[in-house]
Structures are given as C-alpha cells and as structure tokens.
Amino acid sequence: MGRKILFITTDQQRYDALGCNGGTIARTPNIDALSKAGITFDRAHPQNVVCMPSRSTMITGQHVSTHGVWMNGVPLPEDAPSIASDLRRAGYTTALIGKAHFEPLLDPFLRFTENRIGNQRKTTDNPDDPHRGFDHMELSTHGAVGQLHYANWMRDNHREAIAGYYSVLDHELQVNAEGGGDTNAPQLKVNPIPAEWYHTNWVAQQTINWLNSLPADKDWFCWMSFPDPHHPWDPPASELHRVPWREVDLPAGYIEDKSKREKVIDDKLRHWRGWYDGTFVSNYEAPAKWVPASMTADQVREVNAFTHVENELIDDAIGEVLKAINARGWSSDLDVIYTTDHGEFQGDFGLLFKGPYHVDSLMRLPLIWRPAPSAKTAPARVNAPVGLVSLAATFAHIAGIERPKYTEAPRLPTSNDDATNLGHERVLTEWDSVLFGKIVHLRTICRNNWVCTAALDGTMNKFGEGELYDLTNDPLQHVNRWNDDSVKALRDDLLSDLWANLPAQVLPLRNMDAPV
Amino acid sequence: MGTVRRHAFVECNADKVWSFVGAPERLHEWFPITECRVEGNKRWITLAAGIVFEEDIVTLDHDLRRFQYKIVNNSLIKFHLGTVDVIPDGDNRCLVIYSTDMDPEVLALPIAGAASLGLEKVKQMFDGK
C-alpha cells in the first residue's frame, strides 16, 4: 500500500484567513493542526489570480502561458495533461468532489463535460478513461443553480432552500451588485439554509461517502474542493453568531482615510484607479454596477465577518473528513495538502473581489503540506517562494512516481534548505484579460521578498510601466518603487529574471467561450 | 453590447458551403443544438440544456450568401443579431464568418463558443469536397 492523498482546496481565500498564519478572526483548529505537524509555506503564489487559470495550473503543473487557460471562460482542453491521470495509471483511485471549474460554468449548449455529467446525473463520463483522470466527479459551485451535482441534489431534496442563496447574476446576466446584510454590502446575503444543506457540508459529506465506498487496501487521491469563501458571501444564518460583524476589526490592508487610500491607489498601475472609481471593470466576476469607492468601513467589516464564518465552516468540515479517514485506519499513510486558487481583497485598498492586481491580497496564499506521518518528515515553515505550479510534481512525489515531463516546476520543498536544493528561487504570476475591449496584461515575479509586476500594452497601461514592492519593509504594498532610482538595478534584474524564466506563451490564444 | 466574431476558411466552393449553412432548417446538422424547427420566417432552436430560443429570420440573401437572425420574445435578451456570411476566396475555397451582437453582452460569449464548434464541423464536412 502507498500513501493516500487528500488534496483540499478552498476558493478565493487569503493567507491570513487561518490561525496558523496569524489570522485572529476565524477559528481554524483542524487546519492549524495540519500546519503544526507539516510544512507551512509563507510565500506561496498562484500563477494566475482567478479560478480557471489557477486550477488549470494545479492539475497540469504548468504555467498559464503553457496550459493556455489565460482567463476565466477559456476551457482547459479535454486532452490537457492531468496529474490525476498519472496517479490513476499508477494504481490510484481518483476523485474530485466540489468545485472543479476547468471549464466554463455558463454553458447552455452543454459543451463541457463537467456540466454534461452533472446534467446527466453521472459521476463519470467514461469509467475506462475518465475525464481528466478522475474516476469519480461530484461537482458544485457557488449557490445551488446550474447543471452541477450539488444543484441537482438541492433541487431533488431541498428545493425550497435554493432561493436562500444570493443570486450571483442579476436579471441582465451581469454579476449582481445588489447589497445585503445589515450594511447593504455587495454580494452578501443572510441565507436561511440549514448548515447541513450548505455546499461546504455537502462537499465534505460526499467526500466521506466516496472514501467509505473504497476498499481498505486501495490507494486514493481525493481532491476535496470547497467553493467557499468565494463571493457571494451567504453562509447559513444559523452560523453568523460565530463572528459578529460589529466586533470585527478592520483589516490591516484597509486604508480608512479616503485621501490616503486614493493616493496609494494612484501610485499603482492606472487600471487600479479605473476599477476603484467603477469606470474600468476588467474582470467579469466583479459586479460592474458596484463602485468600490463607495464602500463603507462597516461593509468591509460585514464582508470579513461573513467570510470568516465560511472559513470556520470549512475547518469544521475538514475535521469531519479527517475523522472519517481516521476511522478507516488510513491516517498514518495520509498526506494532506491544503491550499486555495487565489486570494481576495476583503477590503484591502478599499476593494473587494479580485482582478489584475498583483499584491499579497490576491497572491499570497495559504499552502500547507502535512506529509504522511509514516514518512517522518520534520515540520517546518518555508519562506522560499513557491507556486501552485509545484503541486502536480508534489503529488507524483508522494505517490512515488516519476515527475511527469509536462510539469514545469519541481515538487514543493520540505524545508528552506530543500527549497534551495530544488531551485525554488522565484515564483511567477501572469494576468491576461480581454473583456469586450478592456485589455490588461501583467507579468509578475516574486524573488528575495520583492514583487515586481511588468505591464504589457493594454487599454490603460503601456509596456515599460509597472509596480515594484519591497515585501520586507512594505508588507501592505503601499509604496510602488517602480520609478525609484535607488532600486532601478534591482528592478531591472528582476525583470530580466522574469523574462528569462517565464515560458513562452502558446499562441494563438484560445477563444474565451464564456464569461466565467 | 457584446460583439463577437468567429471564422473558418473552408477548402470548398462557396456556393456548395452556402447551400448547407444558408439553409436555416439544417442548423442542427452543424451547430451544437439538439433541435431546430422552421416555419416561414420563424425558427425555434433547442439547446442541450433544454432552453428554447424563438428566432426571426431577418436576412436570407442567396446572392450575398448572408443569413441573419434575431432571438425574439425572450425576457433576458434585449438585443440580438446573428450573422453568417460565406465569402468566396477563389473557386474552391471560402471564408465562413459567424458574428453575434448581443445585449446582455455576456451571452455573446457562449454563442461564439458554440459557433466555433459549428464552424469546425462545417470544415470537417466540406474541406476538400
């Protein structure tokens, strides 16, 4: 028997969401315990800060330029490499339960397998050669509408509770800007759904059911993928008492003074101010009719409170799944990797959601690898820069198979020394968006605790412009040092390193077939 | 307003390709839909997810080789115009263009994605024929 792999992802979660990373609001004892016994990464970045490109990197071990999912709405090709396929070939039984999102969600033609198997109420398209290498898929997304399995389950069993969720789209099919809660914060709603019907609990229960269906001697890889704490923020009303929003401190990244806040934003690439003022929305997932400049401090508090309620529910759910695994006698051979696909502003800079903004709010991710206790790996905190691009090679390493040739990064390190040996010197992040004439292209490197973002030609930015942040002395990234002559040599060195290490973009860019 | 355009060069005579894509009742043979019914200048199409679109045929110009249609009587859709053009490029090659203008703009994207698949199918059916 080999090591079992539980890969846990959340969606749109910040590094500081967790107690083990210094978070002080949500109580996350189960994740904290994984951190204490495992390797916690303090400088983990995604290769793109929205879902589809980032998740495509997780499964392929490739940068965005290579796998070609350059934006939400661009499907990962059916024949793209998948680490799940390699694990399956090595004898693992594989499952993906929860949010997949390698393919567009808005799919009225049912062109994509994720939606099709949901619509057909199947858990695989082909048992002999399953989609992306997963023997079993049971899928969900935010809310309970659409084609996926959770929505079907809600329609079959709790139809009356569906309307309790926030409606992600408005009647014009735009991302909804409607406010809710006590502060009228956008994409926030008090949801009367009982906690046991909420998607976090459903994902955990389906995971437990699948694990309990396996023979004791089977090796398995299970990707348990929670849709939360991604907006809309609509956790079960019964759980809101966990984090009363009036008692929540404003996040360190929220600049209360409006003129200071706007000065910080104006020091960045121009598309920041465009979005803040509501005149340049380059990411479909941000409500176009909402103007970030109008957000109040209380709205920031309430959004943070709802988010942390969702974080606590995720932690509870993980505890239940780990208990079930323990009951099967698998604990000593179990590797757990916990991460998310990208971050969330959550009020930083007076903003919510995400988009082409390469700062810690969106790029610094929680990432924990708790190796199987039987492997006797010493716990560690690693501050070397690593990326989600290393996940595929890590799964291969755990399974004892050769690192697939299609992967573009070594496995995650188990210590800072191991990071040096493996060559984890830098981590790269790309952004490309072309949304009905609004164009943003960014390329970013993080190395030696500096983050350097180069703009390419777009609607508001020109090649030659950018952002440069000193993470050691400016942890909130308030001071853009791109034009600071005293660090020009460093900036140019980082740029040379970026261009030398970023894979060439596979052209032509594939078509965007949906907004999300 | 969302505006999108997809195209394919097909290695086949323009008239031959037009005789197929210019037949509104044959849409289901190349476009990823499950059903298609035409009555006069009206067309109804059914998508795999079960959605039915009612359409008005606006232009069917055999000289220009242009087909245009509008989705109508749909509470979600404020404006729509779909256009299919077949343009000769010599005797045995043509360019097929599928354009969509739409409000809400986001719906133009999945239609464009479906059009890409449809054009691929037309290529498979007619290339070298």
* Host H or E run for residue B98: strand B94-103
CA distance A353 to A375: 39
Chain A residues with beta carbon closer than 8 angstroms to that of B116 = 511, 513
pLDDT in tens, A307-326: 999 999 999 999 999 999 99
Backbone angles phi, psi at B65, to 5 degrees: 60, 55
Chain A residues with beta carbon closer than 8 angstroms to that of B117 = 109, 111
**Is the Cβ pair A514, B104 closer than 8 Å?**
no
CA distance A52 to A29: 29
Of B49, B105, B110, the CB nearest to A147: B49
CA distance A171 to B74: 12
**Res. A174 pLDDT band, cuts 50 70 90:** confident
Whether residue A70 has pLDDT greater than 80: yes
Closest alpha carbon to B127 in B38, B23, B17, B1: B17
- A283 touches B at CB < 8 Å: no
Query: What's the half-sphere exposure (Cβ side, CA atoms, 13 Å) at A492?
Result: 6
Of A116, A284, A513, the CB nearest to B110: A513
- A104 touches B at CB < 8 Å: yes
Look at phi and psi of residue A66 and say left if phi exceeds 0, alpha if psi is from -120 to 50, else beta. Answer: alpha
pLDDT in tens, A84-97: 999 999 999 999 99
Residues A190-219, mean pLDDT to the nearest whole number: 98
Tokens of A474: 């400016």
Of A104, A108, A436, the CB nearest to B47: A108
ipTM of the complex: 0.91
**Is the Cβ pair B110, A108 closer than 8 Å?**
yes
| Model confidence, pTM | 0.96
Fold of domain A4-423: Alkaline Phosphatase, subunit A (3.40.720)
**Is the Cβ pair B47, A109 closer than 8 Å?**
yes
**Distance, CA of A476 to chain centre:** 20
Chain A residues with beta carbon closer than 8 angstroms to that of B32 = 109, 111
**Is the Cβ pair B107, A284 closer than 8 Å?**
no
Q: Where are the alpha helices (DSSP H) in A38-133?
A: 51-60, 64-67, 83-89, 113-119
Q: Where are the alpha helices (DSSP H) in A190-294?
A: 199-212, 258-266, 270-276
Q: How far is B109 from chain A (nearest CA, A)?
A: 5
**Is the Cβ pair A172, B104 closer than 8 Å?**
yes
Residue tagged 């757990």 (tokens): A336
Domain positions in chain B: 2-21+57-126
Whether residue A437 has pLDDT greater than 90: no
**Is the Cβ pair A104, B106 closer than 8 Å?**
no
**Distance, CA of A504 to chain centre:** 24
pLDDT in tens, A1-43: 799 999 999 999 999 999 999 999 999 999 999 999 999 999 9
Tokens of A390: 């290393």
**Is the Cβ pair A109, B49 closer than 8 Å?**
yes
**Res. B62 pLDDT band, cuts 50 70 90:** very high
- A155: number of Cβ within 10 Å: 12
Whether residue A301 has pLDDT greater than 90: yes
Look at phi and psi of residue A423 and say left if phi exceeds 0, alpha if psi is from -120 to 50, else beta. Answer: left
Residue in chain B closest to A285 (alpha carbons) equals B106
Residue tagged 């249609």 (tokens): B69
Question: What does B42-89 look like in DSSP terms, one character per residue?
Answer: EEEEE-TTS-EEEEEEEEEETTTTEEEEEEES-TT-SEEEEEEEEEES
CA distance B6 to B12: 18
**Is the Cβ pair A511, B6 closer than 8 Å?**
yes
Domain positions in chain A: 4-423
- Residues of chain A above pLDDT 90, percent: 95
CA distance readout (Å), A87 to A2, A133, A402, B33, B51: 11, 8, 10, 36, 38
Q: In CATH, what class is B2-21+57-126?
A: alpha beta
CA distance A183 to B35: 47
Q: How far is B89 from chain A (nearest CA, A)?
A: 23
